[in-house]
Structure 1
């Protein structure tokens, strides 16, 4: 069963939850946010809009014992499209996004791929928008680079 609770975000973008601190984002500093704890996710809701989704460090048995916990209402509406970024695949068939290395495959080395970032997974597409693979997301870091730039080989 999902529960909701409210917390105030600290000056550095943290909220306290069950003796732990969660990074919800420094743009929310000083604001009151609603945290919705679902199965294995925490949805951060600010001003009635879904701000971020994080993996939950709180097990389902202890959710109801959290300070200020109440039965959750309807889930927040999702108003945004998934974020899409481009990355150049390394000579070893890897790319990195949100601090996570993704193995795409050696046949795609040197090519630029598009990565669609979901809450709990990455979808990787080639230049023809054909899906190459789907990889589980293990980090909570935000995107800092959106565009990939190919490098020219050094001439000998």
Structure 2
């Protein structure tokens, strides 16, 4: 079975009497959920790109009573291309991506950089070219956008 839901800003969806955590990064997004015996597959309804999988807390009787349920289509597939994220370099040129610190140098201090995150490498797009760093963690990407710069109140 499949259902469509909108992920709330805390990253959760309501399925019957259960609140299921999808992912914080999906907050506000419309997703389809494929309900299988032991797993829930969250995917984009237009492209059928797999976004997340979670354990299924629903019993077969609860699945049959889900609002908006329809027969399942083809199985969603994960995307093979790297995830692109943005990070703002600190005042000494260090960024943090997927729990890994990458030192780029003071020339990049305060700049917003784009990083392509793959399974094995981080490709940082700098002014002086692309720097590739080996990935040392297996954490998932949880934030796509960089924080905006803090504004300091001027004393006038």
TM-score, with structure 2 as normaliser: 0.49
TM-score (norm 1): 0.49
Select the structure of larger CA radius of gyration.
Answer: 2
